[in-house]
Amino acid sequence: MIDFAVIPERTALLNVDMQNCFVHGSPFSAQDGLVVQERINRVTARCRAAGILVIHASHVLRTDGSNTGLLGEIAPVVKQGIINKGSQSAALHKGLVVDPKDILLDKPRFGAFHGTDLELILRSRAIDTVIITGVATNVCCETTAREAAVRDFRVFFLSDGTATFDIEDVSAAELQKATCATLGLLFAQVLTVDEMIKKISGAIWQADPILELRSAEERRPREAPVRQNVEAKLRDIEETDHQ
């Protein structure tokens, strides 16, 4: 299995379609949307702390639906305006933590690259690696992962940071497994959220051990033993630097 390196300043997190209609409460919401959202918030917070760019992509159409096109024939519910810009159903879910510094990206179709300026946003910052989370695993997340891979971006795809729904007699679990297996073969490095967080932490430690120790302290404000250990290590590092 491929093992990509994480270089924070050259990495972006793409949270895909964490919108009301996809996260919870509609016929095509991900079964574990709310649970996955909490995991996404965790990895997003870690990315921000590491200086990794955070982008929230939303599948939205024009307010008047004028760019619906064939999508409306394939998915008739779209004609009802469920993902039209400005509708409550198309808004980002209130449980998703969004920072003012995050980038909000509207995409008219399934992939985050098609019909958007995402590639310009990434290339202008010399970003060559993306982390993908969101819903649905086998629709917009997979499409975005494939689009990124064929553009020579390194892709991390989070197996428990994405979620989907049943399709007829094929369960969400089966679709999740098949999608991750396919992407892991040729398009991405597939990791869990915890594995991704560990990988990011390792990258920060290599670049700046003191920063990572301070970040660890901030993440565990109620764990006194950890704080004491961090402070001791910080003193040791600073004393070594002065010698």
The span from the CA of 217 to the CA of 215, in Å, is 5
pLDDT at position 57, please? 98
Give pLDDT tens digits for 124-158.
Answer: 999 999 999 999 999 999 999 999 999 999 999 99
pLDDT for residue 231: 55
Query: pTM for the complete prediction?
Result: 0.85
- CATH numbers and ranges of domains, the chain: 8-204 (3.40.50.850), 208-242 (no CATH)
Please choose, from the candidates 27, 3, 13, the residue with its C-alpha nearest in 3D space to the C-alpha of residue 77.
27
- Encode pLDDT of 34-84 as tens digits: 999 999 999 999 999 999 999 999 999 999 999 999 999 999 999 999 999
Residue 56: CB partners within 8 Å, gap ≥ 6? 15, 18, 92, 96, 98, 102, 103, 104, 105
Mean per-residue pLDDT for 188-217? 81
